[in-house]
Amino acid sequence: MAKDIDYSVYLVTGRDLLPPGKDYLESLEESIQGGVTVVQVREKDADTGEFIKIATESKRICDKYNVPLIINDRVDVALAVGADGVHVGQDDMEITLARKLLHAGTVLGLSCNTAEHVAEAVKLGVDYVGIGAVWGTKTKNLTNPIIGVRGVGERLKELDGTGIKAIAIGGIKSSNLWRTLHGSISVSGRALDGVAVVSDIVASRSPKEAATALSNIVRAFKDDQSQVRSLSTKNGVIDKVSEFVNKIRTVGPLVHQITNNVVATQSANVTLAVGASPIMATEPVEMEDLAKICGALLINIGTLRADGLDGPRLAGSFANKYRKPIVFDPVGVGATSFRKECVKELLDLFQVGVIKGNAGEMAALAGTSEVLSKGVDSVGSGFRDPVSFVRDFAKRERCVVVLTGPIDYISDGTSVAVLENGDPLLGKITGSGCMLGSIIAAFCATAMHEAEVQDNERTRIVDLERLFVGAIAGVLVLTVASEIVAKRPEVKGPGTFLPALIDGLAGVSAQDVRSHAKVTIY
């Protein structure tokens, strides 16, 4: 039996990346003190004697902290220093031969890029696979394609039913680590066991801090994964929604919104009307301060400019860092390649909690031509099987998905809520979808506030169960309010509907929502 290794923060050494004046062994020791759980000594240019010397010195430090040591590529060096394992690449010694030469119980790891590599690793019975490259990297000349977090998730699925551990490698940093871990969970629910990192630790002047930042995120992620609740019966959901509608005015969550200039004023007004406080800020330098104090972040790309991307980039990264839910509204994403590229970049940079869009936007995001869009509006009636679509898409994106239209579909990847409320006038004013994003963000903030208070602990970065109810609450409050005010005598058309809707949102009660809600949960 191979040794049980904690793969959480897997340091791969890279002496050539050390900052000037930083000693290799000092950097290694500091990184272990920061939370590195396993070390791979990787020497691509050293002669055998030098490699053995470096490995021996490294092992002395690893032993002091009881951290396992793995040697890259060289079975002879591993044997010479008594390493715990060997990591081989696709072009290195065959696993069966390495196994034959090494002592029983030596850990064997294999670099994998393609599905075939993983299938081979399973057949050969390696102890772990290193999947990559996830992101671009300057540390190694990549000969295989970058696979992204979704590619990692597809490789992970191939490991179902095996005991093989998995780490990801390539361009991983604490700034993209939340997204790396979350975005790579396979559709079967398999998550990474850890991440392998070179430059984010080695090139740092303070490798201890760099390793601590990585380690904190991996540990928090693993804690999150171990606690999963569910409350998806219809009554359970409506009870929770009523509770949030009652609670939002007491909580009064601050909702940071980066939205478009067509709707900014009315979005701020509806946020106030439902009982939350809006702050509409776009300046990159204030994003960290805002992430600390706000209860949720809304990012709406409606009038995004190339020179305005730093705001959403930083806001999203800091929202992940401070564990605030992100509601993402990819307005008109199907319309232009600029929008598509922005959305792709942003969704790869941070982990969102809710994605909201109409059928055209969702189809563009999911990469299907089943639904066409014209500008920001969706064409036709939507998807053939919207229930399956939202469930699969939510599962793939690891977040709650809200598909809007005459009927709204919401999923957390497991349950699907079908909501049939709303008045046709909602489709006759501009920005009702954008308002919905703001209201969903306000209710997600309320849901997460409850988590903080009840659990008296760090909230999960994507608490699917709570965000699912938060999203349903947001949709119900807007659509029920629209039904109520559309019947008022002063409402004669879209122009009089908008102010009446703001009044309606300010007055809608938990009882109104309960009595009007047309909800089916699948």
Catalytic residues: 434
Q: Closer CB to ligand 3NM, residue 167 or residue 296?
A: 167
239 and 514 in contact (C-beta within 8 Å)? no
Q: Closer CB to Mg ion, residue 92 or residue 288?
A: 92
Identify residue 493 by its one-letter amino acid code. G
Q: Closer CB to Mg ion, residue 140 or residue 222?
A: 140
Q: Closer CB to ligand 3NM, residue 171 or residue 422?
A: 171
Residue 179 Cβ vs ligand 3NM, minimum distance, rounded to whole Å: 15
Q: Closer CB to ligand 3NM, residue 169 or residue 270?
A: 169
Which region, judged by CB under 6 A, interacts with ligand 3NM, from 191-199, 349-357, 461-469, 501-509?
Answer: 191-199
Q: Which residues contact Mg ion by CB under 5 A?
A: 73, 89, 92
What secondary structure does DSSP assign to 496-514, as a single string? HHHHHHHHHHHH--HHHHH
Burial class of 103 by CB neighbour count within 10 A (0 to 12, 13 to 18, 19+): exposed
Residue in 8, 139, 176, 415 binding ligand 3NM, rule: CB under 6 A: 139
- How far is the CA of 206 from the CAs of 11, 26, 41, 446, in angstroms? 14, 10, 19, 38
Q: Should residue 71 be labelled a site residue for ligand 3NM when binding is judged by CB under 6 A?
A: no
Q: Should residue 175 be labelled a site residue for ligand 3NM when binding is judged by CB under 6 A?
A: no
Identify residue 249 by its one-letter amino acid code. R
Q: Closer CB to ligand 3NM, residue 199 or residue 378?
A: 199
Give the C-alpha separation, 112 to 122, whole Å.
Answer: 11
Q: Should residue 11 be labelled a site residue for ligand 3NM when binding is judged by CB under 6 A?
A: no
Residue 185 Cβ vs ligand 3NM, minimum distance, rounded to whole Å: 20
For residue 484, what is the enclosing H or E element? helix 464-486
Q: Please tell me whether residue 463 adopts helix, strand or coil conformation.
A: coil
246 and 510 in contact (C-beta within 8 Å)? yes
Which of 480, 470, 487 has its CA nearest to residue 516?
Answer: 480
Q: Should residue 197 be labelled a site residue for ligand 3NM when binding is judged by CB under 6 A?
A: yes
Q: Should residue 133 be labelled a site residue for ligand 3NM when binding is judged by CB under 6 A?
A: yes
92 interacts with, out of Mg ion, ligand 3NM, none, CB within 5 to 8 A per kind: Mg ion
- How far is the CA of 215 from the CAs of 66, 233, 461, 517, in angstroms? 17, 37, 16, 44
111 interacts with, out of Mg ion, ligand 3NM, none, CB within 5 to 8 A per kind: ligand 3NM
Q: Should residue 132 be labelled a site residue for ligand 3NM when binding is judged by CB under 6 A?
A: yes
58 and 30 in contact (C-beta within 8 Å)? no
Which region, judged by CB under 6 A, interacts with ligand 3NM, from 80-88, 169-177, 212-220, 482-490?
Answer: 169-177
| Alpha-helical segments (H) within 90-147 | 95-101, 115-124
Residue 12 Cβ vs ligand 3NM, minimum distance, rounded to whole Å: 5
Q: Closer CB to Mg ion, residue 141 or residue 456?
A: 141
Cβ neighbors of 418 (< 8 A, separation 6 or more) are 387, 407, 408, 409, 519, 520, 521, 522
Count residues near ligand 3NM (CB under 6 A).
16
Residue in 13, 27, 31, 111 binding ligand 3NM, rule: CB under 6 A: 111
Q: Should residue 355 be labelled a site residue for ligand 3NM when binding is judged by CB under 6 A?
A: no
Give the C-alpha separation, 504 to 277, whole Å.
Answer: 17
Cβ neighbors of 20 (< 8 A, separation 6 or more) are none
Q: Should residue 170 be labelled a site residue for ligand 3NM when binding is judged by CB under 6 A?
A: yes
Q: Please tell me whether residue 343 adopts helix, strand or coil conformation.
A: helix
Give the C-alpha separation, 199 to 139, whole Å.
Answer: 7
Q: What are the structure tokens assigned to 249, written together?
A: 């005015």
73 interacts with, out of Mg ion, ligand 3NM, none, CB within 5 to 8 A per kind: Mg ion
Q: Should residue 114 be labelled a site residue for ligand 3NM when binding is judged by CB under 6 A?
A: no
Q: Should residue 300 be labelled a site residue for ligand 3NM when binding is judged by CB under 6 A?
A: no
Write out the residues near ligand 3NM by the rule CB under 6 A: 12, 111, 132-133, 137, 139-140, 142, 169-172, 197-200
